[in-house]
Structure formats: C-alpha cells, structure tokens
Structure 1
Amino acid sequence: MAVTTGVSASPLDEPCRPTVLCEVRVEDLPAVLLASGDYAVSVSDGRRQALPSSGELQVMVYEPVVVKLDGAAFEGSVELSPDACDGHAHVIHAAPKPAQLLFQAGAVPLSELIVSCVAGCPYQSRTADSFPELPFPRGETEALVELEFKARGHRSHADSFKLSPGQNPIRVSLERIR
C-alpha cells in the first residue's frame, strides 16, 4: 500500500528560483565578424540572443547553463550558474571551427571519389563522403591544402585550395577516360 504525504507534485508548487543577470563577453572573434550581425549566443535551455557588435551581452540565469557562440566560422562556450554571476564578465573565447570540406563532384558519387592530401593535411585515400574535418592550429584561420582526386574510369587530378573555418565547398571535375 502506497502512502502519500498530501504534497502536490505539480511544478507550480516548486519555489521560485532567483534569476540573475550574468555578464558575458566574446573575445577572439575577428572584428569584421563581430560587426556583421551574423553571430548569436544560444543557451542550453533553448534561448537565443543576437551578439551585439560590442561582443558583450547579459544573459538571464536561474540554473546552471552552457552559453554557446553560434556562427558559421567560429565557436566557443562558457558554463554559467547563478552563484557565479557576481558582476564580472564571463568570457567565451571564440575559436575557429574546423574546415569542413563539402565535395561537389558532379556525376561521380562521393562514395566513389577518393581524396588524398598531397600537402597541408595528413589524410590519404579517403572517400569524399567520409573525409574528416581539418582543424586549424591555434591562432590560424586559413590553411592551404593540395588534394588529389581519383575515381574509377576517370583521370586523377590534383588542385590546391585555400580553406577557412567552417564549410568549404570543393568543386571536383575529373575527366573521363575514353
């Protein structure tokens, strides 16, 4: 037999949690991107705020959360809790996202296109549909790589590409062997 205490399990009966404003500052994001208006911060509870060009904003915090920098080329995060919001700014250090190569090979299926790094990266003989992301060394936001492409029934071809953080479309044109 179950015993009840007469206490409701309704979430409305929970005591109010104090909400505090927490200062957040984004550092290391290039000024041109900071001014672009294309970046925001998202909070792990689902809220999202545009990142002002100052790189500083206030986030309402009532429980521990993770605040993430959202944008195409840079990322970063910081953990916040109401107890830690004491007036000083919590810093998100923006770091470049790895280069993600988006191969566009026309008639050759990406699962049949073999990609090898000739220079600038360590990967050999990977299919285009499983080619790994390329991280940037600390402080770098550009990378030059030379890639060789091969596919059955086509001539191999090598080309150089200048990569930036985030998505990088890579057009591949291989000549058919007759």
Structure 2
Amino acid sequence: MKKTILIFISILLVSTVHGQISDRFTYIITLGTGIPINEPSSTPFTWQIAGHYKATERFSAGIGTGLSFYEKALIPVFADIRYQLTVPGKWIPYLQCSIGYSFAPDKHTNGGYFFNPSAGMQYAIHGKVKLLLGIGYEIQNLERLKKYDNNNYTVEFHEKLHHNSISVKLGILF
C-alpha cells in the first residue's frame, strides 16, 4: 500500500513539475563579437547558451556556458540574470548581466574572470520565440604561457591579459 501511494504521489509531482517547466523555463542562444578597447587588442567571437528560470513575468535568472575565442579558446561558465523593462509585447527592452569564470582547454593557458553587463531589445517572432539584439561591455581575463626563443637563450613567462570590449550579440530566446 505504501508503494502504491508513493508511486501515485510521484506521478502527481512529475506531472505538476512538467506543467510548470513549459511556462517557467526559457533558453537563450547567442552569437556575438566585440570591439576591443584595450591593448593588446583581440576581436572576440562568442557563442553562448543559457537556461533561465522565470521568477516573475519580467525577471529571470539562470546559468550558461559557451565558447569564446580571443587569442585562445575559452569556455565560460556563468550566472545570468535578465530583467525586461516593459510588460510583454512585440518589442521589449531588457537588461542582462552575466558573471562567471572561463576555463581554458589549452594546457598553456589559464582562464579567468568573466563579466558581461548588457542592454538590448527583444522582438517576438512567433509564440515564445523571440529575436534578441544586445550591446554591452565584456571583461575577460586570462593568463597564458609565452615563449621566446633566440639562438642564445629561451625564455618562458606567464602573461596576464585583460580583454575589455564593447560586445554585440544576436540571439534567439525560446
């Protein structure tokens, strides 16, 4: 009898959670680049995916990952928050902020701090699918091992890089 009741309660919980997931969870995929504003400069290319939980109609929070390419490839893992400035409609301005850490797959590179606040506009395409355009400021730190070879000597040292850029991202929310 206890097994039957436990199974029945489990089925009810799963069906209830499934009903909430369709209304509460959204996913965002973006492609982006940036305009470097520091030296040494490196134009970034980014691809990111994030999952968000909608706490209210306007506010959502989630986590994400992706790929970033500067001099080296990096894999950012970040917390992400979004706030829609107006009630849902065809055009919705929003604020978004991502903060986290980037890991480097290259053995001679260490990742670092990642921060990307942005503002943008989303346009409703069909149903829950929306097109996003965001402009922000991206900070990406990393450390890499540099080598200098000469006929007389070889030198290795760690170089700390702080990339700052104006980021431009185009994405889709579903």
TM-score, with structure 1 as normaliser? 0.32
TM-score for both structures, normalised by structure 2? 0.33
The structure with the larger Rg is 1
More helix by share: 2
